[in-house]
């Protein structure tokens, strides 16, 4: 499916805060000034991008994820993607001025530096939120209903999600996303790609949960045992945060 077709189709999901600009960004050079006056402020983040505060301590996810992994992952890996993204955007004026989600949808496959580092920034920003301490440890309400409708049960979802994470060869991510018909699906992507990247990934959509399966996310504590890390991640998920994202994209 061509990028513009998907952006048009995605309109049937609804006119939620995240979806509306997703539709609006079909072309390059959409100035934030052209967006509706009621566009939430966080949709108008301009370059240069900044790494948001983590919002919790590096040790808060122990024993599931150790403090040193968190520190290196947040400061060196994510921090590095943000620096390199900003440097890459200086060379790509036509991609400047978009918020991070719209930037993802606007990238072409051969724009490697923005694709890898922009994906790195978007993906990690989501990851820190969905594993933040606290929140429900099981989905409930509308999200639980949608998970049951799409997968049959939470257990079946967890199996599908784990399998996607385990079978991603090399480095990448597994996702729970909403498709352009409003239905949940699980997918995985290589490197720092993500489902926002219309025209690049096989299954485009709006991600609400993502697990980083690069070795840097787990190697210090789990070495080659990716499965143990995936199980720990499932225990860590802050389902209140995932629900919030689900209601934003399915409103």
Binding site for Mn ion (CB under 5 A): 77, 212, 214, 217
Residue nearest to Mn ion (CB): 212
Report helix, strand or coil for 20.
helix
Q: Which CB, 28 or 76, lies closer to Mn ion?
A: 76
Measured from the CB of residue 222, what is the shortest distance to Mn ion in angstroms?
A: 14
Measured from the CB of residue 203, what is the shortest distance to Mn ion in angstroms?
A: 21
Measured from the CB of residue 94, what is the shortest distance to Mn ion in angstroms?
A: 28
Rounded-to-integer distance, Cα 119 and Cα 100, Å: 9
**Per the structure block, which two tokens stand in for 114?**
């923005």
* CB-based contacts of 210, cutoff 8 Å, min separation 6: 123, 126, 127, 130, 173, 174, 175, 176, 194
Measured from the CB of residue 233, what is the shortest distance to Mn ion in angstroms?
A: 12
Q: Which CB, 21 or 120, lies closer to Mn ion?
A: 120
Backbone angles phi, psi at 176, to 5 degrees: -115, 125
Q: Which CB, 66 or 159, lies closer to Mn ion?
A: 66
Q: Which CB, 123 or 180, lies closer to Mn ion?
A: 123
Backbone angles phi, psi at 123, to 5 degrees: -60, -45
């Amino acid at each position: 499916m061509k990028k513009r077709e998907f952006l048009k189709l995605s309109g049937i999901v609804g006119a939620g805060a995240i979806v509306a600009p997703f539709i609006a960004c079909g072309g390059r050079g959409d100035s934030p000034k052209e967006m509706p006056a009621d566009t939430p402020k966080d949709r108008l983040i301009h370059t240069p991008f900044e790494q948001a505060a983590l919002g919790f301590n590096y040790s808060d996810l122990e024993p599931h994820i150790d403090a040193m992994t968190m520190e290196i992952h947040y400061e060196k890996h994510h921090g590095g993607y943000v620096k390199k993204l900003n440097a890459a955007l200086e060379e790509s004026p036509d991609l400047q001025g978009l918020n991070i989600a719209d930037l993802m949808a606007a990238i072409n496959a051969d724009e490697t530096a923005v694709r890898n580092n922009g994906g790195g920034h978007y993906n990690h920003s989501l990851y820190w939120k969905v594993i933040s301490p606290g929140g429900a440890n099981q989905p409930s309400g509308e999200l639980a209903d949608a998970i049951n409708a799409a997968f049959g049960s939470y257990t079946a979802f967890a199996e599908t999600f784990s399998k996607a994470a385990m079978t991603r060869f090399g480095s990448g991510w597994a996702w729970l996303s909403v498709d352009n018909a409003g239905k949940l699906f699980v997918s995985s992507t290589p490197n720092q790609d993500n489902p926002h990247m219309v025209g690049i990934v096989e299954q485009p959509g709006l991600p609400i949960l993502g697990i980083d399966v690069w070795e840097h996310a787990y190697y210090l504590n789990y070495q080659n045992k990716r499965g143990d890390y995936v199980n720990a991640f499932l225990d860590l998920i802050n389902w209140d945060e995932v629900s919030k994202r689900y209601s934003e994209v399915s409103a």
